[in-house]
Chain A
Amino acid sequence: MKLKHLESALQDVEAFASPKVKLEQYPTQPHVAAQMLYTMHNSFGDIEGKAVGDLGCGCAVLSIGAALLGSAYNVGFDIDTDALKIAAANAAEFECDIDFVHCDVVEALGLAANAQPPLHIQMAALSTNDSSSPAASSSNGLPLLVRPKSLDTVIMNPPFGTKNNAGIDMTFLHAGVLLARTAVWSLHKTSTRKHIAKKAAEWGTTMEVVAELRFDIPAMYKFHKEKSVDVAVDLIRLDCTRAPSR
């Protein structure tokens, strides 16, 4: 599939009917989603034939794009049941088999507590579990909803943490690292690049800034004073192949 075809297909994906500020629901623009997926697919081989998870999938534009590019399995996670309804309708419309799980990504990956041990300690704890009982919980006792390292690629357009939820973007990214065997793809404000690189290294992954984008965030909410705002955003890839695994 050509890039322009992917982009035009993704333009038909329905977006949030009534976006929720607190969840930072901004739809991923079709041209951004298409560029992002095309790069993952063509330059890195992270889509075709892969098991792909979408954290905070919203209306599932990224999952649908991945499915159109030939992913073998898709699962999307989101906390908002209204978004998931639209996502399921979108997936049906595109005849894509995508499973949706209604959950809180932060809590479901055992990352809810502020005082959590570093990832390598959690992973070490996981690796001591015998295979008949899959990693039941992180070492701080917080149970995990999804078995770690069960997917190949994790994609996300996470909340940026600008609405009294600072740091949530990093938590999403961390959750991605827990789940992905190969790579995590995400979008982050360019201003946070250094911080992300440092965290990525702590998690045993290598960060690559694959592209610099401009996000045109249209005025969707009452607190938006201008028609639209341009935000500098990095498309990043975390190589997880050397991250500690079970």
Chain B
Amino acid sequence: MRLLTHNLLQCHVKGCSTNNYPLRVEATNVVHKEADFNPEFITHMLQKIEWNALRTTASALGVAELPEILPLSMEGQEELLKQIHLVLMETHIMDGKLVCPGCSHEYLVTHGVGNMLLIEDEV
């Protein structure tokens, strides 16, 4: 699970609708895998990324220290875009847990696949 995917997911346990994002990553195995750098795509996705969630997650995992505030335009921001690319597209959570900050529900990540399935009484 790349951090881009992590950025899209939130806790969906019944009744847990505040403070359910971002899921805290308690990873036992995080790997870096190189991927093609596509600056247009990264710029495009920035409109949909929750920046603070990405920044705090990247920092907590020790992957990168991203700036608190993004420049108004990404024009000429090659280095920053590369850094965001590394965080979003090249950082994979392979094994560990995603923990809801609100209800503490734990979702397991095994071999890179997040198990977000809830059991019946949680739905």
Distance of A133 Cα from B18 Cα, bound (Å) = 8
Distance of A97 Cα from B41 Cα, bound (Å) = 15
Distance of A143 Cα from B111 Cα, bound (Å) = 26
Q: Is the CB of B123 within 8 A of A107?
A: yes
Distance of A132 Cα from B55 Cα, bound (Å) = 13
Q: Is the CB of A73 within 8 A of B12?
A: no
Q: Is the CB of B45 within 8 A of A51?
A: yes
A159 to chain B: closest CB distance in Å? 17
Distance of A142 Cα from B33 Cα, bound (Å) = 35
Q: Is the CB of B117 within 8 A of A104?
A: yes
Distance of A131 Cα from B49 Cα, bound (Å) = 11
Q: Which listed segment binds B: A2-10, A144-152, A199-207?
A: A144-152
Known A-B contacts A102-B115, A112-B123, A149-B48; the reply to A134 vs B12 at CB < 8 A is: no
Which among B14, B18, B118, B123 is the interface contact of A136 at CB below 8 angstroms? B18
Interface residues on A, range: 35 or more
Q: Is B40 an interface residue (CB 8 A)?
A: yes
Query: A144: nearest residue on chain B (CB-CB)?
Result: B12
In terms of DSSP, what is the predominant structure of the interface of chain A? loop
Distance of A141 Cα from B45 Cα, bound (Å) = 28
Q: Is the CB of A136 within 8 A of B21?
A: yes
Known A-B contacts A101-B5, A136-B20, A141-B17; the reply to A108 vs B12 at CB < 8 A is: yes
Q: Is B99 an interface residue (CB 8 A)?
A: no
Interface membership of chain A positions 88-111, coded 1 if the CB is closer than 8 angstroms to chain B and 0 otherwise: 100000000101111110011010
Chain A contacts for B9, CB-based, 8 A: 101, 145-147
Besides A99-B112, A108-B116, 14 new A-B residue pairs in contact (Cβ under 8 A), listed by A number: A49-B41, A72-B38, A73-B4, A73-B45, A73-B89, A97-B2, A100-B113, A102-B114, A107-B123, A133-B21, A141-B15, A142-B12, A144-B10, A149-B48
Q: Chain A residues in contact with chain B, CB under 8 A?
A: 49, 51, 72-73, 75, 79, 81, 84, 88, 97, 99-104, 107-108, 110, 112, 131-134, 136-137, 141-147, 149-151, 181
